[in-house]
Structure 1
Amino acid sequence: MILIDPPLVPSRGRMWSHLASDSSYDELHVFARHLGIPERGFDRDHYDVPGEWYDEAVAAGARPVTSRELVMALVMAGLRRRKQPSLEEE
């Protein structure tokens, strides 16, 4: 199932949502291509989606969830990819 959280993350003058799958990256990539989301929007385990695309993603079949529910679904599916610490952070 494709999941999307509310557009609550500010960046580059916009609010952003996260689009993810609770079953496979292939499912996620197909859905993103269908919506016209550029590949550069993929970040480890999700797509960053501009807030103005939220309603379109939901209309196309993405299930609205909280940010916490989205992360938990990724963890439960074994699809969560955490950001690797940089050498300066170690």
Structure 2
Amino acid sequence: MILIDQARWWYRERRWCHLVSDRDLEELHTFAAANGIPERGFQGDHYDVPEEYRGALIAAGAVEVTSVELVRRLRAAGLRLTPAERRRRSAAIGHPPSG
């Protein structure tokens, strides 16, 4: 299932939310690509998504959950990475570190 949390995190004058799968990364990448989310938004275990995309992603099937629930489900699926693991994975696929 694709999950999305609230847009709570400010970066570069925009609010951002997180898009994850509680099943596998293939589901997440497929959903993101189908909905125009750039690959550069992938942060190793989630996509960072600007607030203005959130409504369309929910309309496309992403399920709204709290940030706590999103992380809980990501961990339960065995997909949650530590910050260091996320940086390594993002660097391995040529993405700059998030900030």
More strand by share: 1
SS in 2 for 1:6: coil
Alignment match, 1:68: 68
Q: Is the 8 A contact 1:45 1:79 kept in 2?
A: yes
% identical aligned pairs: 54
CA distance in 2 between partners of 1:30 and 1:21 (Å): 10
Query: How many residues align structurally?
Result: 86
The CA deviation string for residues 30-51 of structure 1, in whole angstroms up to 9 with x for no partner, is: 0000110000000010000000
Alignment match, 1:2: 2
Counterpart amino acid of 2:45?
A: D
**TM-score, length-scaled by structure 2:** 0.84
Runs of 4+ in 1 over 3 A off after TM superposition: none
Which is greater in Rg? Answer: 1
Q: CA-atom RMSD, angstroms? A: 1.4
**TM-score, length-scaled by structure 1:** 0.92
Segments of 5+ residues of structure 1 without an aligned counterpart are: 86-90
